[in-house]
Amino acid sequence: MSHLEYWTEARSRLQFILDCKIASPLGYIERHGLPCAARSASNNDGGDCLMIRHLSIVTCICLAATGLAATGLAAQLRRPDFSGTWQVDPIRSSKETRLVRWIEPPPTNGWFFSLVPERFTHHEPYLVIVDAHGQRIKMTTDGKEKVNQLSSGLVHRSKTRWDGNELVTEWSIERDGKTSVRGMDRRSLSADGEELIDDRTIAVSFAEQHFRIVWVKNE
């Protein structure tokens, strides 16, 4: 069950309880009148009706609980918005390589300078990433598998989900039904929303590399 479905159900249950708590005393009053020691309106010296006091307390408690549920729902729905055009900062980015077996030399630090700007269009749960070469990757943040056709007969297969305020994408690149590269991107935003940190892992047959790619917002 998603966070939205959970809080919607919780709020519905609280509203049901609230309706029952109000309906029960009101029905009793309609059938039997006010069973309290309150004076009549013409002879009221300030005495309170016990039933009315109980009804008010129950109503306030239920309304407060409903408000807390709504607040919790809003907190769950507040997610970072990755929309914008991002340019890599190669000086502040870093990598770590673990060779499995030597086939060819791994990318040097100059690899970061080859990364082109990427534009994110993010409207929860939809996320589209388009790089400066026009390559487009469409994803959703609900954990469902998405398949994107790339150039040269390549296929990008991915699943994206939220882990707290981090957006985690597990992906693979395939050709002719065979996986050649696997990877994971763990993306997060700085507090001011001006930096996107991508902790990326790429695994191929001969090496596994860990990158911290720092992107700065251009617009």
The residues with which 98 forms a beta bridge, in sequence order, are 208
Rounded to whole angstroms, what are the CA distances from 101 to 71, 93, 97, 197, 207?
52, 25, 12, 29, 7
d(CA 60, CA 70): 15
Report the pLDDT value the prediction gives residue 2, as an integer from 0 to 100: 56
If one compares 186 and 209, the residue with the highest pLDDT of the two is 186
Share the mean pLDDT of the chain.
76
If one compares 118 and 3, the residue with the highest pLDDT of the two is 118
Would you place residue 205 in the very low, low, confident or very high pLDDT band (cuts 50, 70, 90)? confident
Backbone angles phi, psi at 7, to 5 degrees: -75, -30
Would you place residue 186 in the very low, low, confident or very high pLDDT band (cuts 50, 70, 90)? very high
Q: What is the pLDDT of residues 91-132, one digit of tens each?
A: 999 988 776 654 455 555 565 666 889 999 999 999 999 999
Report the pLDDT value the prediction gives residue 98, as an integer from 0 to 100: 72
β-bridge pairing 166-175 and 178-189:
antiparallel
Q: Is the pLDDT of residue 169 over 80?
A: yes
Whether residue 183 contacts residue 202, with contact meaning beta carbons closer than 8 Å, is answered with yes
